[in-house]
A and B are shown apart, each in its own frame.
Chain A
Amino acid sequence: MLLKIAWRNIWRSKLRSFVVIGSIAIGVWSLVFLLSFSRGMIMTYIEKAIENQTSHIQVHNPDFINADVEANELEKAPYNFIQDVTKVKEVLASDPKVEAFAMRSYAHQTFVGVAGKTGVANVYGINPIQEKAVTNIHSLVIEGDYFEKDKKNQILISASQAEKYNIGLRKKVVLSFTDKNGNPTKVAFRVCGIYDTKNQLQDQFNVYVRQKDLNRVLGLGEESHEIAVLVNDVDGVDGIQENLSALLPSQLVRVYDQISPEIELFNVQIQLSTFIFTFIFMLGLIFGIINTMLMAVLERMRELGMLMAIGMNKAKVFKMITLETLLLGLISAPIGMLIGTLSVGYFKRVGLDLSNFSKGMQKFGMSEIVYPESSGDMYITFGIAVLITAILGSLYPAFKAISLRPVEAIRKI
């Protein structure tokens, strides 16, 4: 009966209840959409990072990444190549969850010289065919080709590097290395293609050459520094990592968010912004609820006085007011979530075109079309937040109600 009274009380002032329900629903909807939007933006970034460069899993010699983890400082040295590479290849080839893998060599912070201009680059020595199966850098070539001609010392540079050094196809780029014996050596490469990942952070440093060319320069044979692995199902990537780590105890096997610290940073950012937005939403909502419920209590003082006079104890009066507020939340939160789900679903299908604002975003590898992405956790968080807010918002009006003295309340007009 208490629930029945609470439910019917909500509809005594329909307009007021609709205003509260509407404002909670709009708040929940905007939270769902806003956070799905930022989540979508970051997920797109992560997907692009995986597709363009990182892949799902990477295998290294543990010494290759001589990391001061606290400072995220990764020192990579050419002589720390993967030991027992044949065994690693066998393990990867025999794992059905592994879609493809590509061997890479790597030269970190290499000096670049082009017609009097100098700079620094990270040089990836790749096997073009293997790499094609793992990343999509081949599809991002906007000029020239992707190592199609079997010529020695070809280099794939980015559009931003081409602009920076003011060079084009077939121009010469001189790279300065230190070989595995510590000797400095300079080698000229010729530009075969220009790529553009739209991620300026990545594009300003990364250049690609054939692995056999880089290995020759570094004084290596068939060795590799890095194996990039693409898996069938990204959701199972942690399990695959564990499995590979167990099979290859002497190698360092890491998944994409361990490889790229900014991905972890973005994940933290999602959690933090969810918390901050939810907190601000709750703060705004709580005052709205207090205002509404206080009005409801003050309007019904005589009735509340009568209820206490005929024997309704304070606990029940308190419960009734709290129930009314909770019911408002229970009606409005699902409405907000439903509108949120529908709008997120729509924009997930058609995408949200931000090309007018995307120049700055592209510098950081963000896509110009964002596909909002919601998550179950998000809905649970907002549902709980609305209920907690409703309970907190009902406390003051409920205390106000039970502090009424029946004899005085009954006489109120």
Chain B
Amino acid sequence: MSIISVKNIHKIYNEKTVPVHALQGVDLEIEVGEFTAIVGPSGSGKTTLLNIIGGLDRPNQGKVRLADTGLEDLNDNQLIDFRKNNIGFIFQAYNLIPVLTAQENVEFVMLLQNRPKDEMEKRAVDLLKSVGLEDKLNQRPSQLSGGQQQRVAVARALASKPKFVLADEPTANLDSKSTADLLDIMARLNKEENITFVFSTHDSRVIERARRVVNMIDGKIESDEQQAV
């Protein structure tokens, strides 16, 4: 069953001045439980595609359906609500809330969903345990390493019980050990809890671990291959 369905997507930047065709007719279907890497060189359109799938940007043309919802039917506020309840985000620069502790960062998304306090606390602690940060619950981001911060970001992305997780170059700022640890965690969550992960990356260490690799060049999908891990 497709959880992400993208049809004939076009995205043009600077339409009125110097048009840049970032995406040129992209079609993509992603099933529940996939562990997919969207790869390609800089400027190939992988981040733009991820932004459109994540409802952070709107295409100039084409349709995006996420979990049976057409994003073009949603206004800005509905889109924010949709993201809150359906999509987990992991950003390249971690982007945690610097004034909150690791646990509070994870709880924050659930707070936006108006979950009960007890449930928020329990789930935040469980998630941080599952990413190996049970001893860092009360640390603020500035007291954590880059790898630890990105693991908090993974826990935060899963906190809202999203239908899928989008990760934009999640390992770009991490060393080899942290990258390996992070990929282990995400692969385990994917395998054990059937969580759908979609990455954009040009990191070979991530590409090696992906079960499906979508290769983009110049705003088009050049190849789309399953691979054995």
Contact = CB atoms under 8 A, between A and B. Distances in A.
B24 interface: no
Interface in B55-76: 56-57, 76
A210 B132 CA distance: 100
A309 B92 CA distance: 14
A261 to B, nearest CB: 59
B172 interface: no
B98 A313 contact: no
Contacts of A8: 99-100
Contacts of A9: 99
A30 to B, nearest CB: 33
A313 B81 contact: yes
Contact of A410 (B81, B84, B91, B156): B91
Given A1-B107, A309-B56, A312-B80, A12 B99 contact: yes
B185 interface: no
B95 A311 contact: no
B113 to A, nearest CB: 8
Sort chain A's interface into a size bin. 20 to 34
Contacts of A406: 56
A302 B80 contact: no
Contact of B111 (A1, A12, A309, A313): A1
B112 interface: yes
A5 B100 contact: yes
Interface in B92-132: 93, 95, 97-100, 104, 107-109, 111-113
Interface in A1-35: 1, 4-5, 8-9, 12
Contact of A309 (B77, B89, B99, B104): B89
A306 B80 CA distance: 11
A5 B95 contact: no
Contacts, number: 63
A279 to B, nearest CB: 35
A258 B113 CA distance: 63
A311 B80 contact: yes
A12 to B, nearest CB: 6
Contacts of B93: 302
Contact of B109 (A12, A310, A313): A310
B97 A5 contact: yes
Contacts of A5: 97, 99-100
Interface in B108-163: 108-109, 111-113, 156, 160
Nearest to B85: A311
A303 B85 CA distance: 20
A5 B85 CA distance: 22
Contact of A407 (B57, B98, B99): B57
Contacts of A140: none
A399 to B, nearest CB: 15
A139 B149 CA distance: 81
A225 B58 CA distance: 89
6 contacts: A1-B107, A4-B100, A12-B98, A306-B95, A311-B83, A313-B112
The list of the 7 closest CB pairs from A to B, nearest first, reads A311-B84, A8-B99, A306-B95, A407-B56, A407-B57, A311-B112, A313-B80
Given A311-B84, A410-B95, 7 more contacts: A302-B93, A302-B95, A307-B97, A309-B56, A311-B83, A311-B85, A313-B80
Interface of A: 1, 4-5, 8-9, 12, 302-303, 306-314, 316, 406-407, 410
